[in-house]
């Protein structure tokens, strides 16, 4: 973003007032949407995230790694020394190419595995391919999500309900189950939930249910895998400026005012949450499991 202010001694990281505030331009994209076409384009930390080898030697699979929070996490993990595989829908190839080209230009190891995670067989193939191409797998970030607003349960179709659960819940189950064949003791699984799990919006009935499921899955699986030394945690974002919002995730009037109700009066940028995933993935958080960490612009949801 332009005109970002900095604090002395902060390694030029932008501070709380450095990011765009609403109102935003009227904009609508077909699902699944592209970050590169958003106005303003989201900040994924391309120019600001500085690594310090916190994940050196680790091997990570990140779903939804083409844009939004997934891209920010992919950039952060790679710059922290991890080898990274990202998954995304084929329609999101332009965004995926951007992040791949960026990380390749820095000499970082990143591989792309496009495909639809609503298919169980593909999820199994995805994990196997990621493990083979990376030469192992010890970090899993279940981040890909589907969000489509619907004002009334009377208009919420079974097909739409099923697509949201297949993307947000079933895929997480399938991918995690397959990944446990490879993740060793000391590995880490991080799931992306949402503040919607705790403060559901009236027009996101199916989406909020899936995010609550992710919280329960995280807490239950953390207990189940504790004897194996594998940690399971979740991050619960508040309003974040991602392509999810402009391709049916919110009605246009809410997109234009997106994030203004947060105490910080703006949406978060993906770059502002990536460090949470890094911290949960790192061995520095070796006693943190079954946790849900929130980043919501000051609302204090958790």
**Which run of H or E residues covers position 189?**
strand 188-192
What pTM value is reported for the model?
Answer: 0.94
- Give the β-pairing of 139-142 and 292-295: unpaired
From first to last of the 302 residues of the chain, give the pLDDT tens digit: 344 555 544 445 567 788 999 999 999 999 999 999 999 999 999 999 999 999 999 999 999 999 999 999 999 999 999 999 999 999 999 999 999 999 999 999 999 999 999 999 999 999 999 999 999 999 999 999 999 999 999 999 999 999 999 999 999 999 999 999 999 999 999 999 999 999 999 999 999 999 999 999 999 999 999 999 999 999 999 999 999 999 999 999 999 999 999 999 999 999 999 999 999 999 999 999 999 999 999 999 88
Given 49, 88, 170, 207, which residue is catalytic? 207
pLDDT for 12 equals: 55
4 burial class (0-12, 13-18, 19+ CB within 10 angstroms)? middle
- Fold designation for 52-295: Rossmann fold (3.40.50)
What does the domain layout of the chain look like in residue ranges? 52-295
Give the sheet arrangement for strand 139-142, strand by strand.
110-114, 83-88, 59-63, 139-142, 188-192, 231-237, 292-295
Is residue 170 among the annotated active site residues? no
């Amino acid at each position: 973003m332009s005109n970002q202010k900095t604090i002395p001694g902060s390694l030029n990281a932008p501070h709380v007032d450095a990011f765009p505030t609403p109102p935003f331009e009227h904009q609508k994209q077909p699902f699944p949407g592209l970050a590169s076409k958003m106005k303003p384009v989201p900040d994924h930390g391309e120019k600001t995230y500085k690594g310090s080898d916190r994940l050196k030697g680790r091997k990570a699979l990140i779903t939804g790694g083409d844009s939004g929070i997934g891209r920010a996490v992919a950039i952060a993990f790679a710059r922290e020394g991890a080898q990274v595989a990202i998954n995304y829908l084929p329609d999101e190839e332009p965004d995926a190419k951007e992040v791949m080209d960026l990380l390749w230009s820095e000499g970082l190891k990143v591989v792309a595995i496009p495909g639809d995670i609503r298919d169980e067989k593909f999820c199994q193939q995805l994990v196997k391919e990621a493990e083979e191409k990376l030469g192992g797998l010890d970090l899993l970030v279940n981040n890909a999500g589907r969000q489509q607003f619907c004002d009334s349960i009377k208009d919420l179709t079974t097909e739409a309900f099923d697509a949201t659960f297949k993307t947000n819940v079933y895929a997480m189950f399938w991918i995690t189950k397959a990944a446990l064949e490879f993740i060793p003791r000391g590995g880490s699984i991080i799931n992306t939930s949402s503040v919607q799990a705790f403060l559901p919006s009236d027009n996101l009935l199916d989406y909020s249910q899936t995010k609550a499921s992710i919280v329960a899955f995280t807490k239950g699986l953390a207990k189940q895998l504790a004897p194996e030394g594998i940690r399971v945690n979740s991050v619960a974002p508040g309003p974040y400026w991602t392509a999810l919002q402009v391709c049916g995730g919110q009605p246009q009037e809410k997109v234009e005012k997106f994030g203004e109700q947060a105490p910080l009066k703006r949406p978060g940028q993906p770059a502002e949450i990536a460090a949470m995933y890094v911290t949960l993935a790192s061995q520095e958080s070796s006693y943190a499991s079954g946790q849900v960490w929130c980043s919501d612009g000051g609302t204090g949801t958790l």
